[in-house]
């Protein structure tokens, strides 16, 4: 990993921590808050199924899978922003190293 000046490192870790907090909040919302308000939310339907039942059966799993993909894409963008990506080896460099 490249060396960073302390101010940039602090900004990087603050951003990463904020993103993790957002992901955790979305996960808690999808898994616990829906259940807490199940009676009130039962009037909302997704594909003819009441929202709390849908979230309990498959909706929460879909939310967590989507969070994984969003995390990967956003993490790559944050790493590029802070210059932490590895540069790909070019073909001429591969030939020289053999």
Q: pTM, whole model, 2 decimals?
A: 0.73
DSSP type of residue 88: P
**Sequential pLDDT tens for the chain (98 residues):** 567 788 998 999 999 999 999 999 999 998 888 888 888 888 999 889 898 888 888 888 999 999 999 999 999 999 999 888 876 656 555 555 55
Query: Which residues pair with residue 12 across a beta bridge?
Result: none
Beta strands in 1-98 (DSSP E): 45-46, 49-50
H-helix or E-strand spanning residue 81:
helix 60-81
Domain boundaries, the chain: 42-83
Spatial contact of 50 and 37, defined as CB atoms under 8 Å apart: no
The label of the residue with tokens 């994984």 reads 68
């Amino acid at each position: 990993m490249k060396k960073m000046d302390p101010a940039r490192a602090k900004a990087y870790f603050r951003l990463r921590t904020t993103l993790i907090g957002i992901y955790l909040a979305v996960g808690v919302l999808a898994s616990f808050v829906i259940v807490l308000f199940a009676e009130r939310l039962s009037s909302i339907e997704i594909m003819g199924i009441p929202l709390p039942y849908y979230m309990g059966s498959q909706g929460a799993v879909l939310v967590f899978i989507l969070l994984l993909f969003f995390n990967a894409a956003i993490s790559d963008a944050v790493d590029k922003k802070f210059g932490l990506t590895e540069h790909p080896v070019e073909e001429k460099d591969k030939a020289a190293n053999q």
